[in-house]
Amino acid sequence: MNAASNCVGAMHTALVAIQEQHAELTIYEWDHDSGDFGLNSDGEKIVVARLCLECTPESIKEQIDDAAYDAAGNYDDVPFPCPTRKLADEGLGGGERG
Ligand SMILES: [Zn+2]
């Protein structure tokens, strides 16, 4: 292995680590009446928002845990993929999803 390929390998590892860190946090609609996830006509959970797990503040993640998250009411949440994740995806050839 020469110096150049070592360098590319390290870069690849770093980008994969970023992808794993900046993972997708999917928020599903919560049906407060039934006390369960809301489902669409296909019986699938309804996606409210996709956020970056790493970039979205803890305060918002707590709201999500409490099923109190309102996608329209939060301004500190960071949509997925965030700029960092996009760069990592592009660096790895794009399109990869962790
Ligand atoms: Zn991020």
**Residue ranges of the domains in the chain?**
3-91
- Residue 56 Cα to ligand 1 midpoint, Å, equals 7
- Residue 3 Cα to ligand 1 midpoint, Å, equals 30
30-34, 38-42, 58-62, 83-87 — which is least confidently predicted?
Answer: 30-34
Name the pLDDT band for 66 (thresholds 50, 70, 90): confident
How do strand 30-31 and strand 24-28 relate by DSSP bridges? unpaired
* Helix or strand holding residue 63 (H, E): helix 58-65
The pTM (predicted TM-score) of the whole model is: 0.77
DSSP reduced 3-state for 71:
coil
51's tokens: 């956020």
